[in-house]
Amino acid sequence: MLKGTMTIEMTDVNTGKIEKVLEHNMVTNALTEIFKPLGLAKDPSLMLREFAPYYQKLLGGILLFDREIEENPNNLFPPAEANLIGCAVYGNQNNTKGTKRGGYNQTESELNLTDRYMKFVYDFTTSQANGTIASVCLTHANGGYTSYGGADAVIASSYPLGIRFDDGSLQYVYTDYTGAITGDKYSGFTVGKTELLFLIDRATDMAYYFRIESATAITIMKRRAYLKSVSVLTSPYNKKEYVDAIQIDEVNLNTSNLTYNFDHADNCLYICSSASSYRDAGTTFNVTKIAFSNWAVTEYTITNTTNVRIGTSGMYFAHCHNGFIYLKSYNSPYEIFKIEISNPANIVKMKQNSNVPVNGYPRFAMNGRVYYENYNSNYQLHIANEATNELLNPENGYIYNSSRNYTYTPLLNEPMMYYLSCGNYTTAGFMMLTNYLATINNLSEPVTKTVDKTMKVTYIIQEQ
């Protein structure tokens, strides 16, 4: 069992006055999720190599937010309304111009194996982490690199937002490993043939695909995932056993331009389709919503209510999350628009807070934040925040691999994990997001750091 305490000390550089607060934290289920069995997939050697020492990596980042976060053990990510004020990383100083991240205090930090605790100490200069602080949380070391974005974050190539669990041998999209014509957003699809992976459910040991039969019909395919069970009669390496199929006949698709995503927020599959590779102002495209609980279909015809041409080409042109669809303008420099699916008149152009262009595409969304990744060598990761309607850059330059156009398939009711695939190009495996909340420590009263104060944050995690 882990127990933690956190102390904030702010010192006025003019008067020497010290303001001090002491709080106790709540440990979330993040570490439990990380070590949960993953059947044939999880690789202990990779886990030990990537995650150990655990106190340095799994708890080696700290995040400071401007509002309280509900103290619920299943609260693994902050809401979009919680803005990042400061952060820091075990063993690292901030040598960039970014003003969110502080530095690790090597002298005062301490690993005590006799009394079973680790003391993390982080220092913030007068220019760093200024603002109101209401909650302090431990996270993965890579999550400590401004992973929720900052207007002046300096994007780097060394700190991916995702860390892999396994070697990727348990493929779900390449035909030779599934025994079917399976694929994902990387490789596109063929009507009537390709089964597109959109969800994995560890609890029922199922991988879910959909196959487009025509503009008005799709089939949901269920195949064995081999995360909880195996068969002595089939090979999980090169065959994903067919289990069941559900016919859905009331859809309205345009099969020439299509993209899709499964949204954690409402557990629905969204398929967006368009008659052409772009939509001018006043023209329409379709959104098909399919509920996972009962496969009920809701159709929407969305009018482009922006004043620009939007792009509707390729398998990544849109992303649906929390009742909104996110789209890019067709022409560069690209702009991101958020349109309410049930009310297209409600439209917002996302504010961009840096000079880094949005050259990437939406990969996944979590708790009101949509992550845009550029998969070429120009390290670029943008976070679109639905609460503030702005785009921010983390220091993390990419999610997992900057040179691979990965599809990130979610796991049902498991927001920390995604399955990485590249169609029939390469295997990847399961990945976790590193900006999780391992602990939540809300302050009894928020404190405000200003440019005339330095700050020291001491966070002790003790095993009991």
Q: Is residue 210 pLDDT above 80, yes or no?
A: yes
- At residue 379, the pLDDT reads 82
- Do 229 and 333 fall into the same domain? yes
Tokens describing residue 320: 């649906």
- 293 lies in a domain? yes
Q: Is residue 119 pLDDT above 80, yes or no?
A: yes
- Do 125 and 205 fall into the same domain? no
- Do 300 and 203 fall into the same domain? yes
For residue 443, the Cα-to-chain-centroid distance in whole angstroms is 26
64 membership: H or E segment, kind and range:
strand 61-65
- 165 lies in a domain? no
Mean pLDDT of 442-449: 97
- Do 199 and 136 fall into the same domain? no
- 390 lies in a domain? yes
Tokens describing residue 263: 């949204």
- Do 415 and 446 fall into the same domain? no
- The Cα 5–Cα 447 span in angstroms is 17
- At residue 188, the pLDDT reads 81
- 159 lies in a domain? no
Mean pLDDT of 396-400: 93
- 117 lies in a domain? yes
Tokens describing residue 170: 């348990």
- The Cα 154–Cα 303 span in angstroms is 37
- The Cα 289–Cα 245 span in angstroms is 18
Mean pLDDT of 439-450: 97
Q: Is residue 193 pLDDT above 80, yes or no?
A: yes
Q: Confidence band (pLDDT; 50, 70, 90) for 147?
A: very high
pLDDT tens digits, one per residue of 248-270: 999 999 999 999 999 999 999 99
- 422 lies in a domain? yes
Are 2 and 27 in contact, with CB atoms under 8 Å apart? yes
- Do 417 and 285 fall into the same domain? yes
Specify the CATH number for the domain of residue 288.
2.120.10
- Do 411 and 446 fall into the same domain? no
For residue 333, is it left (φ>0), alpha (ψ between -120 and 50) or beta? Answer: beta
- Do 194 and 212 fall into the same domain? yes
Domain total of the chain: 2
- Do 292 and 201 fall into the same domain? yes
| Domain range for 76 | 2-148+438-463
Mean pLDDT of 380-408: 93
Average predicted confidence (pLDDT) for the chain: 94
301 burial via Cβ count (<10 Å: 0-12, 13-18, 19+): exposed
- Do 276 and 259 fall into the same domain? yes
- At residue 39, the pLDDT reads 87
- Do 106 and 222 fall into the same domain? no
- The Cα 255–Cα 191 span in angstroms is 8
Q: DSSP 3-state assignment of 104? A: strand
pLDDT tens digits, one per residue of 67-88: 999 999 999 999 999 999 999 9
pLDDT tens digits, one per residue of 1-56: 788 899 999 999 999 999 999 999 899 999 999 998 888 888 888 888 889 999 99
- At residue 230, the pLDDT reads 84
- Do 429 and 451 fall into the same domain? no
Determine the Cα angle at 394 with ends 391 and 396, to 5°. Answer: 140
pLDDT tens digits, one per residue of 328-381: 999 999 999 999 999 999 999 999 998 889 999 999 999 999 999 988 767 889
- At residue 296, the pLDDT reads 97
- 166 lies in a domain? no
